Amino acid sequence: MSSSKLIQALKILLVVFSLAAPMQLSARSAQTRSSQLIARAQQITGDRFNVTTSTPRGVTVIAVTAPRADVLATIDRGFAELFAVARRHGYQNHLSFSDYTVFIARADRNKDSSGQYSPDIAVPAGQYAGGYYDQGGFIYAAGMVLAFNPSAFIIAEHERDLSRISNIVRYEGEHIVLYYNDRGLYARTADHSRCGAHPILQ
């Protein structure tokens, strides 16, 4: 190979490596964030999340056991309802299915205090400590926002009443949509111990 051809080949390799390095760094960074997110979810719920899949419309789902196809479709339906109402309010940011991760944990209870079917997770009482919902350092919640970047929340496994899943997805997603589009309303409604029942966006 002539020296001019060798120099040209080296230049091409240099360009390829300079383009590949940021992509590798980005992938490594994303993998680290994902591992940290899973560790945080496991710390809160005490579960092991062994299954990673996605809904037909691109929501990442990380679960204890493989979710059924109808559950995945119901998650999509909840996001579709959320995005539609968000757009009616003029919001534009963070309205893609692929922006979100939903963790599906084992339910810590399947019935509420009135005996109704209500798969919920036990989460630290936090700002609810000492209040009506405090069960001794924890509360039962239908869902819990885990992170804003990447955007993720936790719900409980459901065997039936799947419409409840779509409601939970919409309601937990409201907090994230507001975080990215209306920080004032987000701040006023993020803490349900003070105010802000769902649905926040009508």
Q: Mean pLDDT of all residues in the chain? A: 81
Please tell me which residue, 150 or 33, carries the higher pLDDT value: 150
Kindly state the tokens that stand for 134.
Answer: 């405090």
Strand order in the sheet with 117-124: 109-111, 117-124, 138-141
Q: How confident is the model at residue 4 (pLDDT cuts 50, 70, 90)?
A: very low
- Strands 143-148 and 138-141, by their bridges, are unpaired
Q: What is the pLDDT of residue 125?
A: 65
Taking a C-beta distance cutoff of 8 angstroms, is the pair 62, 104 a contact? yes
- Strands 51-54 and 109-111, by their bridges, are unpaired
Q: What is the mean pLDDT of residues 54-75?
A: 97
Instruction: Indicate the range of 24-28, 31-35, 77-81 predicted with least confidence.
Output: 24-28
Q: What single-letter DSSP state applies at residue 190?
A: S
Q: How far apart are CA 9 and CA 80, in angstroms?
A: 49
Q: What is the pLDDT of residue 31?
A: 64
Judged against a pLDDT cut of 90, whether residue 140 lies above it is answered with: no
Taking a C-beta distance cutoff of 8 angstroms, is the pair 98, 150 a contact? no
pLDDT in tens, 68-118: 999 999 999 999 999 999 999 999 999 999 999 999 999 988 888 888 998
Q: How confident is the model at residue 164 (pLDDT cuts 50, 70, 90)?
A: very high
Which range has the top average pLDDT, 13-22, 110-119, 159-168?
A: 159-168
Q: What is the mean pLDDT of residues 11-15?
A: 33
Positive or negative: CA dihedral 46, 49, 54, 59: positive
Q: What is the pLDDT of residue 142?
A: 87
**Element at 188 (helix H, strand E):** helix 183-189
Q: What is the pLDDT of residue 3?
A: 42
Instruction: Indicate the range of 7-11, 79-83, 175-179 predicted with least confidence.
Output: 7-11
What are phi and psi for residue 154, nearest 5 degrees? -115, 140
Judged against a pLDDT cut of 80, whether residue 20 lies above it is answered with: no
Q: What is the pLDDT of residue 24?
A: 43
Q: What is the pLDDT of residue 77?
A: 98
Pick the CATH number of 46-189 from 3.40.30, 3.10.450, 3.30.200, 3.30.70: 3.40.30
Please give the C-alpha separations between residue 19 and each of 88, 101, 130, in angstroms, as whole numbers: 40, 28, 54
What residue segments make up the domains of the chain, in order of their start?
A: 46-189
